[in-house]
Amino acid sequence: MSRSPRHRKTWGLLARLLLVIALLPGCRQSTRHAPLPEGSTVLAFGDSITWGTGAEPGEDYPSRLAAGSGWRVVNAGIPGDTAERARGRIAETLAVTRPALVLVELGGNDFLGRRPEAAVKDDLRQIVAAIRQSGAQVVLIAVPRFSVVGVISGRLPDSPIYAELAGEEKLLVIEALLGRILADAELRADPIHPNALGYRKMAEGIANELGRVGLLVRR
């Protein structure tokens, strides 16, 4: 039975509405995951923010996350690292650590070096592919576009490449967290690094998102 023009218009509007809802940040990758048990190895793979620059040893976000989750969180952050260089070390790092989950925080140094965002996105895609090939799950931590104006105004929006890549590769992405921290003078050690409190907030935010999708069960 054919629908009337009015019914076709109504169905068209409904389809567009559902598409918009599906693309909202809060709806992206809401699928529940099996929880990782205590003692699981989680790899924190990134740059100086993963390493913990700006805080004392043990105050970095991987250490905070380990303390709150019961997981063995391996800190594989290298200060100054780029997505381009990290692409070359991911395979060996995975082989040594054999993680069940990898948290990827990269791109900030690429942006500071004015690399094209499309190239950074391609590097991240290759890192994600290597992680998946190892059998581990992967979560992206979105990184903001750094600017002096953004720091002054208190607004540091994420580069869009993280949401794009998450949608294309069906990944969980933790959005806006790092940008909010770096936009708050009380949470940063310098314009591009959190301080100890900032890293604590970062670990809490990551834990909340992992808990929301079922990967982390609070002790």
- Total residue count of the chain as it appears in this document: 219
3-state secondary structure (DSSP) of residue 74: strand
- Statement: residue 64 has pLDDT above 80: yes
What pLDDT is attached to residue 27? 37
54 torsion bin: left (phi>0), alpha (psi -120 to 50), beta (else):
left
Of 117 and 21, more confident: 117
Reported for 206-210, long-range contacts at CB under 8 A and 24+ positions apart, including other chains, are: 206/61, 206/65, 206/103, 206/141, 206/174, 206/177, 207/65, 207/68, 207/69, 209/139, 209/172, 209/174, 209/177, 210/139
Residue 158 and residue 140 in contact, taking contact as beta carbons nearer than 8 Å = no
Q: What is the pTM of this model?
A: 0.84
What pLDDT is attached to residue 146? 72
CA distance 8 to 4: 6
Kindly state the average pLDDT of the residues 58-79: 98
Q: How far is CA 140 from CA 45, 46, 186, 190, in A?
A: 10, 10, 25, 23
